[in-house]
Amino acid sequence: MKVDKRLFRALIQFWNPAYSCFTFKKVDLVPTVEEYMALLRCSKI
């Protein structure tokens, strides 16, 4: 699987390991399975 390194670096900056979610300022965002699949460009789990 080919990974977009720029996207991956950008996502890491906002990842909050304490809560296992993305945090943008004071907003926590937990992607759904479908959103993870789209980000990783996977057609199947």
Average pLDDT estimate for 8-30: 84
- Give the start-to-end residue ranges of the domains of the chain: 5-40
User: How many CA atoms are closer than 13 Å to the CA of 35, on its beta-carbon side?
Assistant: 7
Looking at per-residue pLDDT, the higher value among 11 and 37 belongs to 11
Looking at per-residue pLDDT, the higher value among 45 and 24 belongs to 24
